[in-house]
Amino acid sequence: MRRLWVSLLTVLAYGLAQMLPGFILRSHLLGHMSQIETAKFMIFTQVSLFILAAIIIILINLKVKNPTTLEAGRKEPKRYIIPWALLGFCLVMVYQVIISLIYFTIMGSQQTSPNTERLMAIAKKMPIFIILISIVGPILEEFVFRKVFFGELYNAIKANRVVSFLIASIVSSLVFALAHNDMKFIPMYFGMGMIFSLAYVFTKRIAVPIGIHMLQNGTVVLMQVFGGEALKKAQEHANFILHFILN
C-alpha cells in the first residue's frame, strides 16, 4: 500500500475508535438500559474499538511500500528497543518532576490533570479500561502523532535534520497536547511529545516511543489505581518538602 493511504487510514481508524461510542450513545440505540449498564457497555465498546483499531493500524503499516526517509534509514538494532524505551521513560519522569516543581511554584500546591483523574476514575470502577490506558492507547497515539504527524512533516520539510526535527516535533507535539483537551497541562503533554519524537527520530523505530508511552501510562495507573493512599501520603510529604525548599 502507498504510504499516503496508510497514513490517512491510520488517522481515520483512530478517529472512528474515538468517536463511534459517542455516536452510539447519542443515537439512542441502547434503548432503556440503566445508567450503569450504559456506562459498562460504552467502556467495553471503547476498549474493543481501540483494540480493533490498533490491530488494523499495525497491519496496514506493515504493508507500506514507500516508507518515509526516516523509516527507510538505518534503524537501531531490535535488541536496543527496551533499553532505549527505559532511557526515554526516565527522561519523561525527570521532565514531569521539573514541570511539577514549576506548577507548584506558580500554583502553591501539587496539580493533577483533570484528564488523568477522569481516566483513573473509570479505571478504578472498570479495570478493563486499564488495557486501553496502558497498552492500546499508547500504540494508537504513537502511530498517529509520531509516525503520521511527525513522520510525514519530517519527511516533507526539505531542510537540514535539526530544522526538520524542530518544526515537525513542535507541530506534532502541540497537536498531541491539544488532543488531550487539558489546557492547563499543555506544557506537560507537549514536553512528553517532544521526548517521544526525539526517541523516534534517533532510533527510527516506532516501537521505542510506544514503549516509553506504555511505561509512563502504566506507572500512572499503578500509582493512581493500586496505590492511591500511598500516593496521597507521598504527595503530602512532597508538598511539605517543596514548601520548605521554595519558601
Q: What contacts 147, CB < 8 A, 6 or more positions away? A: 10, 61, 200, 206
Domain spans of the chain, in order of start:
1-66, 76-246
Residue written as grid cell 511529545: 193
Q: 47-89, pLDDT tens digit by residue?
A: 999 999 999 999 999 999 899 989 988 999 999 999 999 999 9
| Buried-exposed string 205-219: b where 16+ CB fall within 10 A, e elsewhere | bbbbbbbbbbbbbbe
pLDDT in tens, 20-47: 988 887 777 766 777 777 778 888 899 9
**Which region, left, alpha or beta, applies to residue 110 given φ > 0 means left and ψ of -120 to 50 means alpha?**
beta
- Positive or negative: CA dihedral 171, 176, 177, 181: positive
pLDDT tens, position by position, for the chain (247 residues)?
A: 899 999 999 999 999 999 998 888 777 776 677 777 777 888 889 999 999 999 999 999 999 989 998 998 899 999 999 999 999 999 999 999 898 888 878 876 666 677 777 777 888 888 888 899 999 999 999 999 999 999 999 999 988 999 999 999 999 999 999 998 888 889 999 999 999 999 999 999 999 999 999 999 998 888 877 665 544 554 444 444 444 444 4
Summarize the chain as % helix, strand, coil (round to 5). 80, 0, 20
What pLDDT is recorded for position 109?
60
In angstroms, the Cα distances linking 100 to 96, 160, 229 are 6, 34, 20
| Active site (catalytic) residues | 141
